[in-house]
Structure 1
Amino acid sequence: MPRTTVGIIGAGPAGLLLSHLLHQQGIDNVVLELRSRDYVERRQRAGILEQDTVDVLRESGAGERMDRHGLEHHGIELRFDRRSHRIDFPSLTGGRSVMVYAQTEVVKDLIARRQQDGGTVLFEAEALSVDGIETDRPSIRYRHEGAEHTLDCEIVVACDGFHGIGRRSVPDDLLTVTERTYPFSWLGILADVPPSCEELIYAHHERGFALHSMRSPEVSRLYLQVAPDDSTDNWPDERIWDELETRFAVDGDWTLRRGPITEKSITPMRSFVAEPMRHGRLFLAGDAAHIVPPTGAKGLNLAVADVTLLAQALTRYHAHRDESLLDAYSENALRRVWRAEHFSYTMTTLLHSDPADSDFDRALRLSHLRYVARSEAASASLAENYVGFKEN
């Protein structure tokens, strides 16, 4: 496999979707993925798709199973002060909504499409170096099935996540890195029990944040704010359910359903942006360039937005040798990235209890929550950012 037009590192949603979109435009490409196919298809991540993400999957022909099994949601529920407040998306955003459909399922759908179309996705292929990115003949050196190979490309796109080789291939002095670490983490669980709600519940409680989500009508996904150095060993199942019940409690008739917990994990909260998202013939997309705390449900959607822009830019380049959209990629992508960073930061600081909070801080947070619940303008701002803010 000596040469291709676009070499893509990473077979998460970003890399696979870019490969699919490029194939539809007649642009040959190869995807290299460090992990096995089984690992990639089981890797639990986001489950909320913005309207634009749903539209891209549908228009590209990769949304058939999503439309059969995804759960369209028209709002979220905020809980605090033992009261519930619904944010209605369609009425506040001109009819837009979100879809609950797990990242694992998006990945399965995209892998199936690439196989169906005869695409080249090499699993257990470790990218060792990205070379020549300041020339017009970059290459990726990789190891696959015990042997080293070199893939020559015209363009390299790194969709290989925060720890991948893509961003590390850019000299440190050419990247500006901005980041924030939050003083808490999320304990996340999957449980074989039908959801206790029809829409996501975001709960603020003096003991910490809680989120009730779902993966299907039979599987619930729930989260608890915990200390950053906490361990799942400290959280037996009964303690998790008791704490969730406490944080979701409202005055009225509502019951948290309990069931067998099949998975537990702890996720740190951080924000991270590396810019620019291009160096020579190397382009960064998704978590390779930016991380958001999951409170705003933006990570997967930002990755999709990145590669949608890149697919458009690469299509123009391939058809006309016009690099104008490639040159504008980083600036265009970062506008959306920073809007999502701000929204995710706002949701995170609004809903979590910071251990360092003073009484003044706690009173401000509750005042902000009450304002969102009572003001149509404040609710509309939250809604339009949640479903995906459109600049045009």
Structure 2
Amino acid sequence: MSMMDAFSSTYKEARAKFLAAAYNAGGNCVEYVEPGKGVHGEPLAMDVVRVGPVDSQHMLMITSGCHGVEGYAGSAAQIMALRDSALIKRLQTKRVALLLVHALNPYGFSYSRRVTAEHVDLNRNIVDFSRALPANADYRDMHPLLLPEMWPPAPDNLRAIELAIKNHGFRRFQEMVTGGQYEFPDGLFYGGNAPTWSHLTFLAVLRRVPLSVRKAAWIDLHTGLGACGVGERIFTGGGSSDAESVARQWWGEITQTENETAVSTKLTGQLGGLVRGELAERLVTSITLEFGTTAPVEVLHALRADAWAYRAETDAKQWRTQAAIAMKDAFLIDSPVWKEGVIEQSMATIEAAVKGLENYPTAA
């Protein structure tokens, strides 16, 4: 099958392809069903597939769909990995297990939204909700501008956003808007007031990783930031001080939010906190593989349209349909060149991680 065939037009189609590929690869699958139905009435589920030796001490985890609509690309990469017979055979002979978590946020995937059913950004939801939640005065100031009273926004609103970007500089503007906020449930990048279904379910998945797995690595697949078609490897930590050097050995050039070399800025409540907390010293290293799509302002406009549509009191269905189209266009480029690039870069990243785990000492 071709690279193009790994991509899907709906979550329902993506899930069917993923499960079929998992079956053909001899994978063991566990489904975690999310309450509610998808946009076409389909069941929603976080599907977890394990391929490779049952007693393997080394494991590579690959996750997709943390931000729902971004799952179109991530799912395709996971499907291609499962369809790669040489890779599957190599896992068996080299004693490395592959754990694929498909659609961390199935609701967002199905409805072409970035947020969960709770209207929460899953990658801002990993905080201690028993304590006072982080304040974000920067976002508070921007909220009325980002979600105006009317939609489409008036020319004055668009000019005001352009002026804010000019005055602050784009990276500072990005920090102010995307860092995570816990004050406006209808706003952008809202981290929630409690753990989401996806948060709790992924936590359960992590806690089922057998203790026989001594060393693990993690690749989290995303889209929406960076140059179109470029897969940036953003270092997200590990359980030891050499995690960064390991990442560089395996993947070569990596970027980091801490030193401002990454397309992403520093964020609050990231999913990596959950993974590091559960796998601890077993986590050798981890990265986010982020594929660029379109201009940042276009992505922001789609996010604004989506948030506005779900708080609309009139013509909500019309606004939501339009927003879903805009969101999909912002996070998935419908071009063979872009899609092939996603698959090629994803597979190269996966193969490098498998090779790294093959050669990584278990007792280290």
Higher helix residue share: 2
Same fold (TM over 0.5): no
Provide the TM-score with structure 2 as the length reference: 0.24
Provide the TM-score with structure 1 as the length reference: 0.23
Larger Rg over CA atoms? 1
Higher strand residue share: 1
